[in-house]
Amino acid sequence: MNARTAFALARLGLSAAGLVALIGYFQYTLGVTTFAIANFFSYFTVQSGIASVIVFVTAAVVAARRLTDPAWLDMLRAMVTTYILVSGVVYGIIVWRSSGVNYSIEVPWSSQLLHFVIPICALIDWIVDPYKARLSWKYLGWAIVFPVFWLVFTLIRGPIVGWYPYFFLDARQVSGPGETVLYCLIIVAIITGIAALLTGITRLKRMPRHLLPPWRAAA
């Protein structure tokens, strides 16, 4: 089995795990009294999770059929990897913060898989893949487009439906609008930082051409 086949199988497994986690998380939230389908699909974690399943399935198919990945696909991979990593970081902070105020947050297996296991595996996939495209620093600008739109949409929708996916987006649950804005800026900074890290990884010293596998050296 060559490297491309291995990456194809790994990404297919990653997408399958993501789908299982999303279904499990949906079933778990069915038991929450405030559950609403529209609210479930309004979570950044859920939206980025769905996107990651689609992108990793695409990446698996491409890896199985082509010797190299197109640059646009690697950019999409970088985006979804950034988003699911951000989801994991933010969720981890929320869980940690709740323990400090004597408020317990249950973390079911589906949430652990969705917020922690899959993002870590996606990061490993990004790091160990020696054949990914070299991303331009302009990617940082593209990486924050979706999160900013999501934040704006959520802040507009929140007062209308009386529900926010995360406590810090509701000014009533924090000290006021100023703290909500601060949290939003911190999230954008985290997204930019992770996107910069993934971009930087692609710009490290590349493997000498004569050491590349024949199928890559010929590309």
pLDDT digits (tens, 9 = 90+) for 180-195: 999 999 999 999 999 9
Tell me how far apart the alpha carbons of residues 194 and 176 are, in angstroms, rounded to a whole number.
28
Residues 6+ apart with CB under 8 A from 105: 94, 95, 98
Query: Which pLDDT score, from 0 to 100, does residue 31 have?
Result: 82
The structure tokens listed for 211 are: 């050491």
Identify the weakest region by mean pLDDT among 28-37, 118-127, 163-172.
28-37
Tell me how far apart the alpha carbons of residues 28 and 102 are, in angstroms, rounded to a whole number.
23
Check residue 168 and report its DSSP letter. G
The structure tokens listed for 166 are: 């995360």
Q: State if pTM tops 0.85.
A: yes
Angle formed at CA 211 by CA 206 and CA 213, multiple of 5 degrees: 100
Residues 6+ apart with CB under 8 A from 141: none
DSSP per-residue letters across 46-64: HHHHHHHHHHHHHHHHHHH
Instruction: Give pLDDT tens digits for 52-70.
Output: 999 999 999 999 998 888 9
- Name the strand (E) or helix (H) holding 43: none
